[in-house]
Amino acid sequence: MAGKPDDDDEDELRKKIKEFLQEGMSREQIRKELGIGMTKLMRILKSIPRETIGDIKKPPPTDQKIIDQASDWASQKIASTLSDQIHGDYIGSMKAASTLKSAEMRYRKALEEMGWDWNDFVQQALDYGFHKAQEREKLVALMKIMDKVKEW
């Protein structure tokens, strides 16, 4: 009866392993928690009936078909949306580049003769233009308020 204590130990380990599996622990986490080797863990796992472990079962074919169709549709929709967005961004960038190139053809030589670096000028002009656009928006909002006050 020297083998009996080992069987009791394995039964206890089997119970703990089932609990840990149901809690969602990985094999490596279980092995570390119980302080056993992978070989022993695998041997005990093989002795546990599958239905008690709670394996994820593959859905019935009709459910799987719905899942596959939804997945395909979502993938196509995402790709299409991103493609449209990237295309729009590209077109916008090309229009901006065209406008900038046109301005460069007209003004660069004169600016360089005045001592300006073209890239510095473009950066300053954009910053200044943006600042003026913000000021304009504030003025438009103020004018709308003034019109409403006049109505009273």
Task: Yes or no: say if 34 and 17 are a contact pair by the CB < 8 Å rule.
Answer: yes
Contacts of 122 (CB under 8 A, 6+ apart): 100
Chain mean position to CA 51: 36
Tokens of 68: 């596959």
Residues 9 and 13: their CA atoms lie apart, in Å, by: 6
- At residue 82, the pLDDT reads 87
pTM above threshold 0.75: no
65-89 mean pLDDT? 87
For residue 3, name the pLDDT band (cuts at 50, 70, 90): very low
